[in-house]
Amino acid sequence: MLAANVFYKGCQWAMLVVLAWFGAPEFVGQFVLSLAVTTPILAFFMLQLRMVQATDATGEYKFGDYFVLRAVTTLLAFVAIVFTAICSGYRPELVMIIVAVGLSACIDSFSDIIYGLLQQRERMDLIAKSMIIKGALSLAGLTVVFWATRQLLYGVLMIAAARLLVVLLCDISFAACVLQERSAVSGQKLKLEVNWQSARLMALAKLSLPLGFVAMLDLLCYTTPKYFVAHYWGEAAVGIFGALFYIREVGATAVLAIGQAAAPRLSQLFSSGRLRSYSQLLMFLVGGSAAIGGLMVLAAWLAGPIILRAVYGVEYAEHADTLVWVMIAAAVFFVALLNNFAMAAARCFRLQILVFAVVAVSSWIACYFLVPEGGLSGAAKALGVTSLTQILGQVIVIMYALRSQQLACQHNSVAALNMEGLC
């Protein structure tokens, strides 16, 4: 599964590389800005239903419930994306690209909800196959069409077509296969079906709504600099910044893998009251993520122009100084990313909304003061301020959770001693 994730992220990065090599930075900027506009909107309406479904161990809701709710919220998301694009004040060509990117993302949301079913049934192999096919088809479609036409809109529509093919020809058949396997084991007839039950859908939406807010705020924290760069410095500048920004995904993928591997252990240590071991493991993981960030900063400082020239071209190599600032911000972000797993292990879900809301506000404030005069380097510094604010909020929440858990353990110990005395 890790290999599939790396391959898929590599294909997404390669799309930017294709646009950079075959087109001007304006094309990269239009693509990056379109993603920045659409992803927070879709993240909210997706409600993180995949995670809710994958962790629904008791089967409280059927796959049909998740699928119908995803269909409804995806339609609402697409309407919101179209409305936002039209009201944004962007020129018509960019509005069309934003709508096309939104359409592609909405199609992909159906793959996401099917992945939730496959993950729940522990068929990660099928998810990996789907991701590999989707990444390869999307990259190939964009490359061929953009090379032939130099029209970004047509390239994005090819990505949407590739994702639609994967949903129709792969994902739906995978879901049907898994349900059929489940039927054979349980003796119950399970099949792909959609039933509209308003009460169940409303209950599921209410359960997932806070997760939608968290996902949206999380994305807004790191897409805000792109809005400011586009407003003050233009599409070419946001293209260069977006290309530099995406290099951090190399380290982020490694940190995510570390966090996902350590999350069950962190959760076990916290819930069992072994708080010292929890803190020690967290510090070890934070040190590892900081080391990854430090290596990326060192690489950017020593070989930034070479890396940018090799990956994106000469025009991007002129911004090697900005790459160093982006990697410094990325190093701070990696620590914040790791802390998210620590907060989840401590079950601090409600407080996450407050933390991300504060971080989103801090991102806007930092961009307001740093981007107009500082340009791309100012945007990178704003990213660093955003991640530092996030870490501060996370530390406060984790310390609060540790204190609360410590008091709970002490209370349980006293209660146990009292019971022994009575006996």
Going residue by residue through the chain (423 aa), what tens digit of pLDDT does each one get?
A: 667 888 888 899 899 999 999 988 999 999 999 999 999 999 999 988 887 777 666 667 787 888 899 999 999 999 999 999 999 888 999 999 999 999 999 999 999 988 888 887 778 888 889 999 999 999 999 999 999 998 999 999 999 999 999 999 988 888 888 877 765 555 555 555 666 777 888 888 888 888 888 889 888 888 999 999 999 999 999 999 999 999 988 888 888 888 877 877 888 888 888 888 888 988 999 999 999 999 999 999 999 999 999 999 888 999 999 999 999 999 999 999 888 888 877 776 677 788 889 999 999 999 999 999 999 999 999 999 999 999 999 999 888 888 887 777 666 555 554 555 545
Within 8 A by CB and 6+ apart from 183, the residues are 189, 190, 191
Give residue 2's region: left, alpha or beta (phi > 0; psi -120 to 50): alpha
Total number of residues shown for the chain:
423
The pLDDT of residue 123 is 83
Contact 287, 262 (CB under 8 A): no
State the DSSP string of 324-343: HHHHHHHHHHHHHHHHHHHH
Taking alpha carbons only, the member of 111, 109, 101 closest to residue 81 is: 101
Give pLDDT, residue 97.
96
Tokens for 295, please give them: 């290596």
Residue 54: what are its φ and ψ, rounded to 5°? -65, -30
Task: Please enumerate in sequence order all residues whose Cβ is within 8 A of that of 22, keeping only pairs 6 or more positions apart, or say none.
Answer: 146, 147, 150
> Among candidates 222, 217, 223, which has minimal Cα distance to 356?
217
The pLDDT of residue 421 is 53
